Chain A
Amino acid sequence: MRLLSLDRRIIYILVLLAVGVPLLFRVPLPVKVGVETRKVHSAIDNIPHGSYVMLSFDIEASSLPEVKPLAEATVRHCFQRDLRIIGLALFSEGAAIGYNLLVQVADEMGKVYGSDYIYLGFRPQYVSAILGMGESIEDVFPLDYLNNDWREYPGYASLGNYDDVALVISIADGSLPTYWVEYAGSRYNQKIAACLTAAMTTSYYPYTVSGQLVGMVSGLKGAAEYETMLGYSGGGHRGMLSQSSGHALIILLVIVANVAELRKRK
């Protein structure tokens, strides 16, 4: 059977076409908003204006194309609600990514560094950093990412520890939300939400059902759902056609391979 020994280069070309070509077209696909995305949206919606929200960029550069639309939508929502963002990173690569993203969205929305958002940068050893911020954020981050004393900024002088933070959102491509739940959630009763790569989604269902995570937004699909709720079309929507055709191709390949296998057995 020729089909069973299909040259892998043909599969590679098919994947390239299925994922790449749809990116050239802007075909808006209708997106149904899932329960988990709604939970995160309403958690942010219910926070009073002016409250502190902590965004932790627990990501590496490799997952940026998938995570960026998610993070962008979340940041936009926080700024729309006039929440004061505290940005930080518990992975070194997340430091520059988070800062760029925050500044980019803040500039678009006319938000000011120091009164609407600050960026604390990276701290190594995430367990002690998470626990330490429960005692005092200043102890863990005496200076911000730009080496300034963030306590001097007018919007952040009263920030002490998790007691002052309404919600922590871990934007992650790995297991960091687990540590946020185990250390900030269990010990300090901190509310936590997660924005995750699609591959991590199944790992966090137990935490959302138990209420340890208030909700999660996952993958490009989650980003598209969040964008739908905010009423704009961004990177999530742009990627939906590409992701749909990519999934469809894999499904088709698996079916073809199994049909070929069955025919061979007969």
Chain B
Amino acid sequence: MMTTRKISFVICFAAGIFGLVQYFSPHPAISSVYRSLLDWVQIIFAFALLVGALSVLRMHAGKVMKRDRHWVYSAVAVASLIAMTAAGFAGGADRGSLFAWLFDNVQVPMQSTVFALLAFFVASAAYRGFRMRNLEAGILLVTALLIMLARIPIGELATDWLPRSADWVLNVPSMSAKRALLIGIGLGSVTTALRVILGIERSAIGG
């Protein structure tokens, strides 16, 4: 009798090997299976979203029922989730619908406001933390000031030297570091994928 974990491993192994093989084969049968697999991934993910939404609803509804600390926030979360879902199902998402109105006039301003607060924290943090305490911190400081100055019209108008220096920083030292990171991430991804396909790494399937 195969355990659930073994079944999961077999599916994972078969899907992984198929994913590798199909990349190199233009055969119509393989292509057809590949398209079906892509559909399955989308269907599974759509159900995962549903499970996620229900889980959020259950957690917050529980907090409201038990009158936990900050239960009012949970009540707002539950009410918002239900309201947006009902508005979407009832009137669609086209312009002029209740869903679009709620999105444009509640969600967008709220999220933009929270994100905009970053400007205040960044300024305060830069004032307190950006100090030239040693050579490395000095290089970081000068580079940051250079990029900030070069990325606004005033800096560009002041001298050609500023944008050219900023471009050099971005195209040479910054890019070489970024490329090294990308290559490292790529190799790491290949290794992890192989470990998952071969069943060495089983945390994803409860191993």
Contact = CB atoms under 8 A, between A and B. Distances in A.
B128 A257 contact: yes
Contact of B123 (A65, A99, A244, A253): A253
Contacts of B116: 65
Contacts of A31: 153, 156
A139 B38 CA distance: 10
Contacts of B127: 6, 11, 253-254, 256-257
Interface string A92-135: 01011101100100000000000000000001110111011001
Given A14-B123, A31-B156, A205-B171, 19 more contacts: A6-B127, A8-B124, A15-B119, A61-B103, A63-B112, A96-B99, A96-B100, A99-B93, A128-B41, A135-B34, A140-B42, A201-B170, A206-B179, A244-B152, A247-B148, A247-B149, A249-B123, A251-B149, A261-B132
Given A205-B171, A257-B131, A125 B100 contact: no
A221 B151 CA distance: 7
Contacts of A159: none
A209 B123 contact: no
Determine chain A's interface SS by DSSP, over half rule.
Answer: helix
A144 B32 CA distance: 24
19 contacts: A12-B124, A62-B114, A63-B115, A64-B108, A99-B93, A127-B41, A128-B41, A135-B38, A146-B94, A202-B178, A203-B178, A205-B175, A209-B171, A209-B175, A243-B152, A254-B126, A257-B127, A258-B130, A262-B132
B119 A202 contact: no
Given A135-B34, A206-B175, A251-B149, A124 B46 contact: yes
A21 interface: no
B119 A30 contact: no
Contacts of B182: 206
A29 B153 contact: yes
Contact of A221 (B38, B94, B104, B152): B152
A132 B35 contact: yes
Given A61-B111, A62-B114, A131-B38, A254 B130 contact: yes
A11 B93 contact: no
Interface of A: 6, 8, 11-12, 14-16, 19, 29-32, 34, 60-65, 93, 95-97, 99-100, 103, 123-125, 127-129, 131-132, 135-136, 139-140, 145-147, 187, 198, 201-203, 205-206, 209, 219, 221, 224, 240, 243-244, 246-251, 253-258, 261-262
Contacts, number: 157
Contact of B100 (A6, A100, A205): A100
B107 interface: yes
User: 7 nearest interchain CB pairs?
Assistant: A125-B45, A62-B115, A128-B41, A62-B111, A61-B111, A244-B152, A29-B153
A203 B42 CA distance: 28
Contacts of B144: 254
A15 B120 contact: yes
B170 A202 contact: yes
B191 interface: no
B145 A251 contact: yes
B85 interface: no
Nearest to B179: A206
B69 interface: no
Contact of A251 (B41, B108, B148): B148
Contacts of A96: 93, 99-100, 103-104
B132 A247 contact: no
A132 B123 contact: no
Contact of A11 (B120, B156, B178): B120
Nearest to B174: A202
B173 to A, nearest CB: 11
B154 interface: yes
Contacts of B29: none
A224 B154 CA distance: 14
Contacts of A95: 93
A221 B155 CA distance: 12
B155 to A, nearest CB: 8
A238 to B, nearest CB: 13
A211 to B, nearest CB: 14
